[in-house]
Structure 1
């Protein structure tokens, strides 16, 4: 009987050898792919979270320098209102200060330009992780705005199981035409306005992205993605002229896109480019307001169809006194000429809010006029607004009366004609019913004093000379607020002949309140430098009130400053009551000893003044601070206000403040000032001389 040798059978050994060779080849292939383009590796990658089901998956490319500005503003605006999921794709080592923004860090990808690797890697990641979970996929940049409901309305009528590439078709600009290696029937979807791909397109495209990335013909990632789709999926971008409107791309070379009229946003699904976060918020606010108005109109129509609509009348309340009668403001030539609230509302340019709302109303009116234009054989076209009236009734809403010039065109033969006609429109916008919400739903930034970093106010006052005026300022502040222990006065003092009198007054009031002097000595006077120097030794959570020596301040005003200023959220620019020259006052005004009196001939609320501001030291730094190159009178306050308005992280609140009185003083405008400062100085000087009533009375005496 023979002995059986140990070992494997020849057949089994051959199988194991082949299996081992296959594993070795597979690992070598994966490593070779991973070493060259690891972000497009064919090896299965583990999912970072549970898969979700949804309608559209939106991937947004962004860079490290924009993730906390542009990208986060996208996340906080339109990304919250899409029928699906939004994810931001960044380079491998990118981080964000915001923990709630969903980031995908693409392995082996950096922020180099053009972002071809990032774009292809993003599309590959979406296909690998969510191809079976979503019906549509959208590739976008961080300067794109998307109207989620409009996008859904478009895509619901299409079949995602068929190959689609949807966007604004491009062939290159005039310099690139014929240089992008495109065939006669080829095009590409422009990346800026966004590219929508169906699930079937992603299924066919995904396995071929690696090959396309290795055979690039141009430096444009959207061109190469379009070429890859055309070659391996067999479809081109949608050839449709309407796509220029739906996937809108503003081709203006300036940074003024979407800062004026937003009419081009009305019919668009996507809006591009929006580089400034504040413009992104402006467009989002416009879209949401338009949506709200449409819903209100739909609600009114449904109520009307139910025959329970109330009778429309310009009389919506029953006043018992003359003061209760709601007055209209008169609008002419884009300016408010006569205001319903008199002295508190001087003649001024129409607010952006009112201009936009009246434009939207006019558009809606003419859409309704021309709803059946083809059947009626006539069309109405808006020419211009002659004049109008506006009034706000706090309990009910806003009323508009508009006198319009329009074209009346009859296009059906034999009565073709064009006439210029005049029509009145009476429009009522009713407020929506009150809605109560819990404080938890508001968010972390509650509008109360408890949410602020500090209630201690640091008043910063630049001063050069004018010791008598400072004595009045300090005495008034001491008498009104001497018991307020949460108040400090920082005097930024320049050298002057009466400097000693000022120091004596500071020493006198130091026993009753906290007063500090910041020495400027013989430096040239600059209000921006002085205010910056005065706040330099304070912490970031210190509440600053930047003021002038000509002001009288009440304690009520200081309390409202605390309420209206929110750390890292809100900056307060109060509108002060500015006195006219006492020479123009009425006899009654001269007899009044109390400066806190608001007579029509005594003064006016200076809506165009921005010199007084309340904000936190950290916010002053984050919005850009003062322009310290500005010397002399004016302009530094306007510069700071514009920076605050443009800040992506801060709101600006403006409101008349009766507790702040600017005492009249003669203004000297140095002719050597820069022209812009000189014009502003002369305008302020002229506006502060006398009221319109006083000037009319003077002219009557002269005549």
Structure 2
């Protein structure tokens, strides 16, 4: 029994030794499973957060109470949205904004005193205390700075934020300050205006010393003292690089900076100073245009790589007949355009639109040439255009052939040299795809945009604290056209006008006629009155009698407009004009209340004595021939405009006596206003020929205009050539 007991006891011990590890393994496995399952549903710990990759950039914008709702808010609405990270506004203690969406950081114990040394140093200390481990780079900026976030991102991602960096435009002080800033021979500072960027390592090293640096200043310039503090405690100075003058652009010498062409923006990362909110928006729009152009270029480049895509060709259109040929225009070195079959041909000064397009093309062209300049060891610089050709292919784009003089620079030793050379450039600008937009959306977009611009102009001297950028409720547009016609005698022309008016539209309720009548001879006045009474039976007619006052077209149109409501659509017309119902439709569609004015170009008849035989066969006035008439590109007498817009621009000039000038004055007012101008030939408008007399008592400028108009309306060049051939 004892032996059996010992044997069973031994077996039990062996079984126990084998079971224990199994049980322990099961317990450990189940525990680990439970722990891992629980960890999956636990919130992320602070330790895990610290190990995450930091965000790229934190921008601190310093602003003051008087600018927080203007300049600062414009920054928030524009480039702040494109920053690859986060942007915060740092303000004095107690500063508030009417815009609740702006991220304001009030700095305790800081005021808006200028220069803002304390605000700058306290802002950097706040960044270090609250976000040192959250971002790789930190930027100090002012509220009059524009930053291109995409270009800044490219620069920062090429650098190591774990090393000490201080990036900006290096400064030594202006001429008056040179030698007075306590800078060493090889010391500099980053100018605060165009922005200062520092790596996380730089901020980490300088943060503990910001307070002591603030207490030991040598000058009143906060950017100088910040640079001195970083140089002393971190051991780095501002990036000493000539290119930084372009990348961090600072314009303190040229008045009205950035109000002309924005050539600096193409290569810049930041632009300073931008004092006006409207200018900030303009720069932002131009930056978005650059981004869109780059995206289109990338898309086109990728499409060109597809195997089924046609390779680029200089010949994009093959003409099958002479009339299908697209003629080239010649551009001379002195900016004179030689052309054919266009207004102002055969030669005239190069239009602003063409000059701007050529400037942008040259800039883009040389940017592409110099993209790999260092690798190729050469640099190209533009001199001028010797001559060129251009043409528009309506289905494809614009073609250019430019003879360019340029500087060719070899930049690698020992063969460094600068040569002046000429090259031919063949350039094609492709049109983008057709985009369709509804008329309602277009009208609403234009009205919203221009309504806000008008409000800004009216409130330009205020603080704009109550300005609301959200869409506003605009007054409705009414599409009933009021024809305003000045009339003094001219009974035969008036009868012809009325005869056309009776048949012009089937629906006579879409327009009304306002007659502003001056007294003439009694017989003509009685005849006019009889025609008006007969016309009232079919058409809504209102009559304003001016009596024996001297005729003035400007005063007559103003009197006709006075009786209308602000939402009235007015069409100023003359008694010698015939029009179709399609013209009424174009007046309605091309005139947008609060946004757009329509100046149609009318077809003006020559003297019937000079018409060709084929032109005489047509009794219809709406027949267009080279010898019958011409489109009067310099006539602005016919215009459709809403009454509210007419009042906005200041109405007609009422002190003009005699022939002409009132239409030119109104057109110039529209050009100077925020309103857009729609200017196009209207095939439904015909000016019937009538003899003209120009009084010698007219002012010189009006007399010259009257004589020129009279001469231009006599006959076509073709008819004059035919007359000369008779006597040759």
With structure 2 as the length reference, what TM-score do the two structures score?
A: 0.67
Farther off after superposition, 232-241 or 346-355: 232-241
Q: How does 1:391-470 map to 2 (within 5 A)?
A: 391-394=392-395, 397-407=396-406, 409=408, 418=419, 421=422, 423-433=423-433, 445=445, 453-463=477-487, 466-470=490-494
Residues 186-239 of structure 1, C-alpha deviation per residue, up to 9 Å, x if partnerless? 656353x55667778889789989x989x9987xxxx55665675699787665
Do structure 1's residue 562 and structure 2's residue 588 form an aligned pair? yes
Q: How many correspondences in the alignment?
A: 630
On the 8 A contact 1:525/1:631 being kept in 2, the answer is: no
Equivalent-residue separation in structure 1 for 2:525 and 2:76 (angstroms): 54
On the 8 A contact 2:485/2:513 being kept in 1, the answer is: yes
Residues 266-304 of structure 1, C-alpha deviation per residue, up to 9 Å, x if partnerless? 212334566777776665555444444433443444455
Instruction: Please report how far the alpha carbon of residue 556 of structure 1 lies from its aligned counterpart in structure 2 after TM superposition.
Output: 0.7
Equivalent in the alignment of 1:589: 615
Equivalent-residue separation in structure 2 for 1:684 and 1:273 (angstroms): 49
Going from structure 1 to structure 2, the CA distance change for 1:571 and 1:442 (only over 3 Å counts) comes to closer
Instruction: Please report how far the alpha carbon of residue 388 of structure 1 lies from its aligned counterpart in structure 2 after TM superposition.
Output: 0.6
Equivalent-residue separation in structure 2 for 1:385 and 1:186 (angstroms): 43
Which of 673, 677, 681 is the equivalent residue of 1:652?
A: 677
Q: How does 1:483-562 map to 2 (within 5 A)?
A: 483-493=507-517, 502-518=528-544, 530-562=556-588
Instruction: Please report how far the alpha carbon of residue 559 of structure 1 lies from its aligned counterpart in structure 2 after TM superposition.
Output: 0.9
Equivalent-residue separation in structure 1 for 2:66 and 2:369 (angstroms): 50
Instruction: Please report how far the alpha carbon of residue 599 of structure 1 lies from its aligned counterpart in structure 2 after TM superposition.
Output: 1.9
Equivalent-residue separation in structure 2 for 1:118 and 1:699 (angstroms): 85
Going from structure 1 to structure 2, the CA distance change for 1:177 and 1:609 (only over 3 Å counts) comes to farther
Equivalent in the alignment of 2:604: 578
Going from structure 1 to structure 2, the CA distance change for 1:531 and 1:283 (only over 3 Å counts) comes to farther
Partner SS, residue 445 of structure 1: helix
Going from structure 1 to structure 2, the CA distance change for 1:587 and 1:304 (only over 3 Å counts) comes to same
Partner SS, residue 485 of structure 1: helix
Equivalent-residue separation in structure 2 for 1:608 and 1:125 (angstroms): 64
Larger Cα-atom Rg: 2
Residues 18-65 of structure 1, C-alpha deviation per residue, up to 9 Å, x if partnerless? xxxxxxxxxxxxxxxxxxxxxxxxxxxxxxxxxx98845475969989
Partner SS, residue 445 of structure 2: coil
Farther off after superposition, 124-133 or 534-543: 124-133
| 5+ long unaligned stretches in structure 1 | 1-51
Going from structure 1 to structure 2, the CA distance change for 1:690 and 1:373 (only over 3 Å counts) comes to farther
Equivalent-residue separation in structure 2 for 1:612 and 1:62 (angstroms): 50
Partner SS, residue 556 of structure 1: helix
Equivalent-residue separation in structure 1 for 2:554 and 2:126 (angstroms): 51
Farther off after superposition, 496-505 or 56-65: 56-65
Q: How does 1:28-427 map to 2 (within 5 A)?
A: 55=57, 57=59, 59=61, 81-83=82-84, 135-137=137-139, 139-141=141-143, 145-157=146-158, 167-168=168-169, 177=177, 189=191, 191=193, 193=194, 223-224=221-222, 227=225, 240-250=241-251, 257-259=258-260, 261-271=261-271, 286-305=286-305, 309-317=309-317, 325-333=324-332, 334=335, 336-339=337-340, 350-369=350-369, 375=376, 381-394=382-395, 397-407=396-406, 409=408, 418=419, 421=422, 423-427=423-427
Equivalent-residue separation in structure 1 for 2:192 and 2:714 (angstroms): 58
Do structure 1's residue 626 and structure 2's residue 639 form an aligned pair? no
With structure 1 as the length reference, what TM-score do the two structures score?
A: 0.69
On the 8 A contact 2:140/2:195 being kept in 1, the answer is: yes
Equivalent-residue separation in structure 2 for 1:626 and 1:582 (angstroms): 36
Going from structure 1 to structure 2, the CA distance change for 1:384 and 1:201 (only over 3 Å counts) comes to same
Equivalent-residue separation in structure 2 for 1:294 and 1:385 (angstroms): 29
Partner SS, residue 401 of structure 2: strand
Residues 378-423 of structure 1, C-alpha deviation per residue, up to 9 Å, x if partnerless? 85744324231312232xx2141414142575869899785654x5
On the 8 A contact 2:265/2:271 being kept in 1, the answer is: yes
Going from structure 1 to structure 2, the CA distance change for 1:150 and 1:630 (only over 3 Å counts) comes to farther
Going from structure 1 to structure 2, the CA distance change for 1:510 and 1:680 (only over 3 Å counts) comes to same
Equivalent-residue separation in structure 1 for 2:437 and 2:118 (angstroms): 42
